[in-house]
Structure 1
């Protein structure tokens, strides 16, 4: 069966459009009209509202189709869509996805490995990411859960400047888990990382410029000075008559 000529926005079996109805697609007899500055005009015939839109070189946009009568607003719809897209793009750019890093430790980890793992955890937290700490028990270690608990407690205390315990230690089969959340938001961490990167770049640029100046001064000082070439007359005694 063909449905050509049927408005897909209104026919229940057709495509459902997310775009609002504008201008001649608004087929209700009257609308509650809102002016371009947000002022309430009142209930007017749709034909009159369309005429006002054309007179002001604007569009009539249905902004509340479920109202009785529907609410329509006078606006520049092309500009409205552009600004909405810009805002959505900016929102996506500022949106931060929660990232959970994982760090695995053994209950009897030595001090050197512990310091290395702790450094990674601090780096993750400073970057604004959560960290899941997993203590892996093997063999007889499973009968000593306090080893894992004490290790997690020690780690939480050591990194307390950068994170907090979001999920307390709990046993999960042969493993013991704990989640540490960052004290700063990821957006704040990104701003600080960028500022630090810019600072280092500025310092490096200043160092390079200083090296160039020093090299230029060295070359200038090491260039031999030009002297007037002495001729035979310059070697003669001024008291001797020629």
Structure 2
């Protein structure tokens, strides 16, 4: 490509370098994967600056996902469960993913269905704030499930207001 963006066509490298030197510009390879590779006559400093600006802009538009973790036991008391559920609700309301881990000890490992039921109950209790991103799966002594917040934030639901009320 020429200095003004016009198509020059397929040119030998030696001819392209000579054209660049005559125009007092650099020969910059824009698309090295293309066949044949695409090069452009331009100021290399300007090219570096523009590519840095594009990279900065793409980083600015990127959303950082935070994964919070909540650990439970299979034989959790009702009040403790409500407290942990409140934490999960608050994390989801803030837009974070939540990794819920159930830790099994001793003989509890022979009853993984207790942990599975607990995770299903928790997912159902916070279903208005988030959904199951990865199903519960056994990982050694632990059972893990990941909950993600819903994409479109609707009008503040009852659970969101409760979670914010618990913070105050």
The question of a shared fold, defined as TM-score above 0.5 by the shorter chain, is answered with yes
Note the residue ranges of structure 2 that are not aligned, 5 or more in a row. Answer: 154-168
Residues 135 and 49 of structure 1: is their aligned pair in 2 closer, same or farther, counting only changes over 3 Å? Answer: closer
Measured at CA, do residues 37 and 125 of structure 1 come closer, stay the same or move farther in structure 2, by a change above 3 Å? farther
Q: Answer yes or no: is the 8 Å Cα contact 1:62–1:70 preserved in 2.
A: no
| Distance in structure 2 (CA, Å) of the matches to 1:73 and 1:39 | 10
Contact 2:66 2:97 in 1 (8 A): yes
CA contact (8 A) 1:126 1:184 kept: no
1:50 is matched with which residue? 21
Tell which has more relative contact order, 1 or 2 (C-alpha 8 A, sep 6+).
2
Q: 1:68 to 1:184 in 2, by over 3 A?
A: closer
Q: Distance in 2 between matches of 1:116 and 1:94?
A: 35
Show the 5 A alignment for 1:76-155. Answer: 76-155=43-122
Unaligned runs of 5+ in 1: 1-33, 189-242
State the shift of 1:85 in Å. Answer: 1.0
Aligned pairs for 1:39-78 (under 5 A) are 39-42=6-9, 43=11, 45=15, 46-51=17-22, 53-54=23-24, 59-63=25-29, 71-78=38-45
Number of paired residues?
Answer: 148
Q: Deviations over 1:93-128 (max 9, x none)?
A: 333444332111122222222122112112222333
* Structure number with bigger Rg: 1
Flag the 1:157–1:37 CA change in 2: closer, same or farther, 3 A.
farther
Aligned to 1:36: 3
